[in-house]
Amino acid sequence: MEKVIELLSLNKSFNGEKVIENLNYTFFSNEIVVLLGYSGVGKSTLLRILSGLDHQYQGEVKYASDINVSKSIIPIVFQSFDQLLPWYTVKKNILLPYKKENDKLKIFNEIIDILDLGNALHKYPKELSGGMKQRTAIARALLAKSKVILFDEPFSSLDITMRQSLQNLVLKIQRKYNQTIIFVTHDIEEAIFLGDRLLIMADSKTRHDITLNSENKERYTNPFDQQVRKVIKIIEGSTQ
C-alpha cells in the first residue's frame, strides 16, 4: 500500500492550549480512515491541516509525491448545508472549481449518475433537501479526482434514513474510484460501518488506532460487545 499522507510529530495549539500533541500517523491509498471522537478533540482541526486550510502547526505533513498541496485540490465535504454557493445552480456549483478543465465532462456525467443528481442540476441550493445538498458537495469533491477526499461530519445533520443512504454511497464511490477517504464523525456506528481503520481521538494525546475487518466490524456493531464498550468508554472519557 502506498503512503498518501504521513503525519510526523504533528502538534497544533489554539491560544497556547494544545489540541493535537505529537501525532504520528500514516494514511494509505485506497482506504477509509475514520477519525472518531467527541467535539473539540481536534478532528476537524486535523482535517483542516490535511486540506491545506490551516498552516499554523508544528511538525510535518508529508504528502505523496504527486500531491502538491498548494496546487492540487484536496477536497472537503463539510457538515454545513451552506457549503454550496446559493447564487449558483447545482451544476455550476459542481463545475465552478474546474471551469478551466475541459476534460471533466465525461466524469461529470458519470458522477451525476452515481449520485442521482440528474434532475437537480438546474436547481438552486435553496430548492434542495439537506441530503441533496450534501450529494452536490460530494459530487463537487469527487470531480477533483483527487487521491484523497476529506469528509467533516457531512451527514450529522441528516435524518437516519438519509444518513444510511449516503453512507452506502460513500462506500460505493470509494470502491469505484479507489480513493483514500478521511472521514470525521462522532457517531460510533457510522465510524464502524464506513471505516477500514479508526483513529479514535480521546484527547490531544490519547489516541487508539483500530483496524477493522468484516469479522470485528460485526462484533463492534453489537452494543453489548466488550470491545465496543471499551471504544465508547475511551470516547466518553474524552468529554470528562
Partner 1 sequence: MRETLNKNYRKIFIIILIIFLWEGIYNLNIYPQTLFPSLTEIIYEIVKGFRDFSIILSIQYSLTLLFKGIVLTFLLAFISVLLSEVSIIFNDFLEMLISIAHPLPGIAIIPLVILWIGIGEKAILFIIIHAMLWPVIINLKSGIQSIPKIYMDLSEVFNFSRVDKIKHIYFMGILPHIFSGLKIAWARGWRALISSEMVFGVVGSSSGLGWYIFKQRVFMNTPGLYGGLVIIIILGLLVEGILFKKLENIYIGKWS
Find the part of the chain contacting partner 1 (CB under 8 A) among 67-75, 106-114, 161-169, 179-187: 67-75
If the CB atoms of residues 89 and 204 are measured against partner 1, the closer one turns out to be 89
Measured between alpha carbons, how far is 95 from 228 in angstroms, rounded to an integer? 42
CB of 170 vs partner 1, minimal distance in Å: 18
User: Residues 116 to 145: which contact partner 1 by CB under 8 A?
Assistant: 124-126, 140, 144
Beta strands in the chain (DSSP E): 3-14, 17-28, 32-36, 58-63, 76-77, 148-152, 180-185, 197-201, 207-211
Write out the three cell numbers for 152: 467533516
Measured between alpha carbons, how far is 40 from 206 in angstroms, rounded to an integer? 14
Return the ∠ at Cα 170 (arms to 167 and 171), rounded to 5°: 95
- Could you tell me how far CA 207 lies from the centroid of its own chain? 18
CB of 135 vs partner 1, minimal distance in Å: 16
Number of residues in contact with partner 1, rule: CB under 8 A? 23
**Is 9 a residue that touches partner 1 (CB under 8 A)?**
no
Give the footprint of partner 1 on this chain (CB under 8 A).
51-53, 71, 73-76, 78, 80, 82-83, 85-88, 96-97, 124-126, 140, 144
